[in-house]
Every structure is written in C-alpha cells, then in structure tokens.
Chain A
Amino acid sequence: MSLRLSRRLRGPESGYYWFLLFLFLLAFFPIGAAAGIYSAFYLRFGTELLIFGLFALSVDIIMGYTGLVSLGPAAFFGIGAYAGALTLIKLANSIWLALFVALAMSGVVAWLIGYLSIRIKGVYFAMLTLAFAEMFHELAFNWQSFTGGSDGLTGVPRPEIGIPPFGLSLSNPYVFFYFVLSVVILVYYGCVRLVNSPFGRILQAIRDNEERAEFIGYDIRVFKRRSFVISGIIGGLSGSLFALLRFVDPDVLHWLTSAEVLVMNLFGGMGTLYGPMIGAIVFLYAKDFISSYTEHWRIILGIIFVAFVIYSPQGIVGLSRNMRAKVLPMLKALVFWTVKRNTRESLSPVLGESNPSSQKKPFREPE
C-alpha cells in the first residue's frame, strides 16, 4: 500500500522531464550550423519545427487533456500570426507589443468561440470550430486592404529584443532560434505544471468522464472554456512566432493547417504534452525529407499515417511504450532462452546428458 501511494505521490511522469532535458540540449543545435556541419537552412528549419511543436502542444491541451476535438486550431495560429505581423507593420516595431497584441487577440477570440461553441458537444462542436476557422480564413482572404488578401503580408519587420545593454536583432537566425527555444521551454514547463495541477486534473476528469465530473460539482463548461482559451493563447503565440520566421498569408488559416496539426498530435501521441511536439518534429522532418526525394510525398506520408492510425493509435510515444512493455520482455526472454540453451549445450558433455529429452521421462515404462 505504501509503495502504491508513494508512486502516486511521485507527481508527473518521468517522460515530461526527459523531454525537458531534450529541449535544453537543443541549445547546442546551432553550434553545428555555426561550425558548418549543416547549412544555416537547418537552423531556420529547426526553428520552424519548434514553432510547430508549440502549436501541436496547444492542441494537446484541448484535445489530449480536455477531450474536446476541435477542428479549427488554425484559427488561433492564424490570428496570432496576423495580429503579430499587423502590429509590427502598422503600430510599432516592438516584439513585446506584437506578442502582447497577438496573445490578447487570440485569447479574446478563443473566449468568444469557446463561449459560443462549448454549449454543444461532440461532432457539432468540432464542426462549429471548423466553421469559425474557415470564416476567419475567408475574412483574411477577402479583406484585401487590411490583410493583403491572397498575397498575404510580406516584409514583416524583424524587431530587436529590447534588453537595454544589448541590442539583439531577431533577423539574426541564431538569436531567433534561442528566442523561440526559450519561449518553447517556458511554455512547455508551464504546461507540465498546468496539467499536473488541480486544474489540470479537473480537465482530465472531464476528458475521462464528463458526467461524473459534473456530478462532483464542477461547472464543466467553465473549465472547458478556460482550457480552450489557454490552448488558443498558446496557439496564437506559436502563430506570431511563425509570422516572424516567415511571411503571413491566408494559408495559415486554411483547414489543412488544422488537419496537419491534428496529424502531428496523433503521430506523436495525444495526452502526453511531449508526444505532440515529437509528432510535429517527426512529421515536418519526414515531410521535408520525403519531398526532397520525390514529388509524391503525400502518398508516402498518407500511407505511414494510415498505418499509424490503425496499428498504433497512441502514436510514436505509445509505440515506444509498447516496445518497452512488450518487445523488451520478448527480447529479454529470447536472449535468456538462447543463453540458457547454449549453456546447457556447452555444459552437456560435462553433465553427461547427450539427449536432453530423456529428462522429460519422469517414470520408466512398465516392463
């Protein structure tokens, strides 16, 4: 009993911290680019992977931890991107102001969408979030004078990070990588704390059994809405970082963006926080890798993806857990069996047992 209790009190699962360690180790990544082991392109690519990891993380909070299937996470990504870029272009060249506006906008929109759509459940909720995201897509597409229409916003200025003695410009890819990495580490750690806090437990209770959580006395709509807003704000943050990395066009609001981030979540393993981030990294890397060899990358990715859905619904994280749970004991047994057999064979001349099957006859046949 005391053993089980202590295990329960141990807090977050160790995987969370292994991934945090991994994120810290990524700080060494730019050294390779600086030393010329790989080109500076990979530094930008690595930054993009981190940004999409953040986006996938935001979806995990709402989908993996609260159990709400939202088909429109691109809305927050896109709003964050547009709000950040528009602030930089039209208001002031300040990263902090841009991030503040992006987070505030995506938070407000998330609250509004959440307020309207969390009243209804299941497929209806999913479709409503999709519809809202598509509305924003249409808006960005048609509001030519403000959003630049289908051309998007080009020439987003790269601001300086205003820490008084140093003037570091985000146009420097190294500075930008470390900036994104530190944001990702902070948000990831915050999310680990969040999902293991009492608030996070309530979200998981809602995911596991909504009626029961309601009967205990929680106002589940309020908690769902809060979770939706948190997810939206993180999504907006990732979008505004993306706007600083590349340009903004209506594609960031397209439903394919939502679909891709859902794919990343499933690919990595929902409800683990680090799973979706691994999923984002693997998905985008696989996409880049396959598309550099063949034009038909979508068919290969599609087949891998379908195989994952059918055979490993828990994603890469689940696969590795399965490996530990099933394959590892099997391997151990195999090794043990081989060793045992070999030892017996090598020992048999000593023991004088030429035929091992003679052992299996415990009694003599009647004469």
Chain B
Amino acid sequence: MKELTSTKTFVNILVLMGVCVGLAWLILYQILPKMTLKIAFKQLLNGLTLGLMYVIIASGLSLIFGLMEVINFAHGALYMLGAYFGLTFFKLTGNFWLSLVVAPIVVGVVGMMLEYSTFRPLYGRSPLYHILLTFGLVLIIGNAAEMVWGKAYHIFPRPKGFEGMVGFLGIAYPTYRLFVLAVGVAISVFFWFMLKKTRFGLIIRAGTHNREITSAFGIDISRYFTLVFGFGVAIAGAAGVLMAPILSVHPHMGDGIVITAFIVVVVGGLGSLSGAALAGILIGILESFSVILFPAFTGAMMYMVMVIVLLVRPQGLLGIEEIR
C-alpha cells in the first residue's frame, strides 16, 4: 500500500516537472520573442472585450439552462438576429443608442414567442429533444434572416463619437472597443444585480436550485420560463448589436458563437454565473493571445481548455460538486 502511494507521488512529481519544463520552453522560446509589453497590453484589452461578450452570451445561456434545463442551440441565431434588428433600426432612425435599446427588446419578444409556441410542449421530455428542436430553430431563423436581409455582409458603422482611437499608456486603442468593454461590464453587473438582489432573481435562483420545492411554496415557476427565456435571449441580442460594428453582420455570424458560449458555460460550471464570467474572460484572453502566439491553434485552443477542465474538474471551474 505504502509502495503504491510512493510510486504515485513519484509519477506526480515527474508530471509536474514535465509541465514546468514545457512551460519554461513555451515562455522562453515561443512567447517572449513575439511579445512586447505594448502588444501584450493591447491583446489583453482585446481579450477582455471578446471575453465580456462571451460572458454576456454565455450567462443568458446559463440562466436558461439553469432554470429550464434546456440547451438552447438557437442562442447564436438570436444573437445574429439582434445584430440585424440593430442594423435595421439604425438605418431607419440613424440613432445607434435607440437601436441598442430597441433591438434586444425585439429579440426578447421573438424569443418569448418561440418559447411559448415551441419549447413549452417539450418540458418534461428528455433534454435531447430541446437540442434537436433548437437545431431546427437555427435552420428556420438563419434562413428567415437570409430571406429578409440577403446573404451579403453588411457593414455596421460605428456610432458618432466612437469612430477614432484614444491613446493611453503608450498605445492607441479604438474608442468603440473601450465602449463595448464598459457596456459589457455594465450588462454583467446589471445581470448580477437582477439575479442576486431582486425578488425576481430570488425566485429564479430558487427555481434553479429546486423546482419542486419552489412550486411547493406556491410559486408557479413555469410562468417565469417565458420571461427568463426572453431575458436571456435579449442580452444575446444586445451582444449582437454591440459586436456588429467590430465584426460585420451576416447570416452565419451566430453559428460559431453558440459553441463558444457553451464551452464557456461548461468550463465555468453549468448554472454558475460567476464561473461563466471567469471562464468567458479566460477564454477571451487566451484566444486573443493565441492569435499572436500560435495562430494555427487558435481555433482548437478553447476545445483543449474545455477537455482539460472537464477531465480534471468535471463540474467546471466554479460549478457545484454534484454532477447531473
């Protein structure tokens, strides 16, 4: 018995040494030659912006999964819809701020209609059916957007006052990205406040924790499903409007992001909002650094992070111990 543990310790030490040597090689020969402090700082900001968008999208997804145990594959499609609605309102009114407010509300309403008409009959069945249903919705929404707005890439102009660059700490950085950073933080804080400090949030947290007991207290939790779905989807729409001036608007812009958002949710721990925030920022920063350092592995990077996290800590970084 004692021998067994000592072999195990020996193996652990060997693995640890290997990891240390690997990291040292990585830092000395791969990272340092390509990095300067300025580039690192810029990439850090880029990573934060990207990460915050992941956080926003993933927290909506996580909220929906937590309460309804539904995996919403159509989240990316609704994010794309948000960008298109924003573009349309912007073209109609010429006011970016109005479209930033109106587009998410419209997306939320669309989401509520979808939840009421298609999700509702499926509660209580295997979660597989929701995956399949939302996959069908991805087909429908994606094609509907193509029919209305066409296949072309649309350019969403940056709002007035945020077109230029701003210089600080020796680097020039786009003003609009800083704005996105600020709004991202604001939405996350608002989300946190709503969930932790209001009665609505209390009910949702109770429903997430234990649906039956919440119902036993006389709260009709299924009434909140539509509202929560609308809310989760609306902030994805807001992220769509915010990202539109940085990327461009096209019918497939949401295809990849839904997978990323899932990975963020799973890495952070299903149902854990602080976990999603941590994982989103982590993956955003890792991604923006690997664009510079290992461009060939950028795409695979987040999957590797997820595989490692799931194998070492299956419940996610900040997830609760129990595995459903």
Interface, chain A (partner B; CB < 8 A): 63, 69, 71, 116-117, 119-124, 126-128, 130-132, 134-135, 138-139, 141-142, 255, 259, 262-263, 266, 296, 298-299, 301-303, 305-306, 309-310, 313
Contacts and interface: CB of A to CB of B under 8 A. Distances in A.
B296 interface: yes
Given A128-B310, A305-B136, 17 more contacts: A69-B131, A120-B310, A120-B323, A121-B323, A123-B266, A124-B266, A124-B310, A127-B310, A142-B299, A255-B259, A262-B135, A263-B135, A299-B139, A299-B147, A303-B136, A306-B133, A306-B140
A138 B314 CA distance: 23
Contacts of B262: 127, 130
- List of 7 A-B pairs having minimum Cβ-Cβ separation, nearest first: A302-B139, A302-B140, A299-B143, A138-B300, A305-B136, A298-B143, A306-B136
Contacts, number: 115
A146 to B, nearest CB: 13
Contacts of A135: 300, 303-304, 307
Most chain A CB within 10 A, of B132, B138, B140, B323, is at B132
Contact of B132 (A122, A128, A142, A309): A309
B127 to A, nearest CB: 7
Contact of A310 (B121, B127, B139): B121
24 contacts: A117-B310, A120-B310, A122-B127, A122-B323, A123-B266, A123-B324, A124-B310, A127-B263, A127-B266, A128-B306, A132-B307, A135-B303, A259-B135, A296-B143, A298-B139, A298-B142, A298-B143, A302-B138, A302-B140, A303-B140, A305-B139, A309-B122, A309-B133, A310-B133
A117 B138 CA distance: 27
A299 B136 CA distance: 9
B140 A298 contact: yes
Most chain B CB within 10 A, of A122, A138, A299, A309, is at A309
B128 to A, nearest CB: 5
Contacts of B197: none
Contacts of A299: 139-140, 143-144, 147
Contacts of A262: 131-132, 135
Interface in B42-57: none
A130 B258 CA distance: 12
A310 B304 CA distance: 35
A290 to B, nearest CB: 11
B30 interface: no
Nearest to A297: B143
A130 B306 CA distance: 10
B253 interface: no
Contacts of B276: none
Interface of B: 65, 71, 118, 121-122, 125, 127-129, 131-133, 135-140, 142-144, 146-147, 259, 262-263, 266, 270, 296-297, 299-300, 303-304, 306-307, 310-311, 314, 323-324
A266 B132 CA distance: 8
Contacts of A309: 122, 129, 132-133, 136
Most chain B CB within 10 A, of A116, A127, A128, A262, is at A127
A123 B127 contact: yes
B324 A121 contact: yes
Contacts of B147: 296, 299
Contacts of A123: 65, 71, 127, 266, 270, 324
A124 B140 contact: no
The interface residues of chain B, by DSSP majority, are classed as helix
Nearest to B71: A123
Contacts of A266: 129, 132
Nearest to A270: B128
A259 B133 CA distance: 11
Contacts of A117: 310
Nearest to B138: A302
Contacts of A303: 136, 140
Contact of B306 (A127, A142, A296): A127
A301 B139 contact: yes
B276 to A, nearest CB: 14
A296 B297 CA distance: 35
A317 to B, nearest CB: 16
B144 A124 contact: no
Contacts of A141: 299
A302 B136 contact: yes
A67 to B, nearest CB: 9
A288 B109 CA distance: 34
Most chain A CB within 10 A, of B129, B263, B299, is at B299
A243 to B, nearest CB: 23
A121 B322 CA distance: 11
B76 to A, nearest CB: 12
Nearest to B147: A296
A130 B118 CA distance: 25
A128 B307 contact: yes
A313 B121 CA distance: 11
A134 B136 contact: no
A142 B297 contact: yes
Given A120-B310, A122-B323, A124-B314, A138 B303 contact: yes
A263 B137 CA distance: 12
Contacts of A63: 128
A210 B135 CA distance: 27
A265 B266 CA distance: 26
A262 B133 CA distance: 11
Contacts of A259: 135
Contacts of B122: 309-310
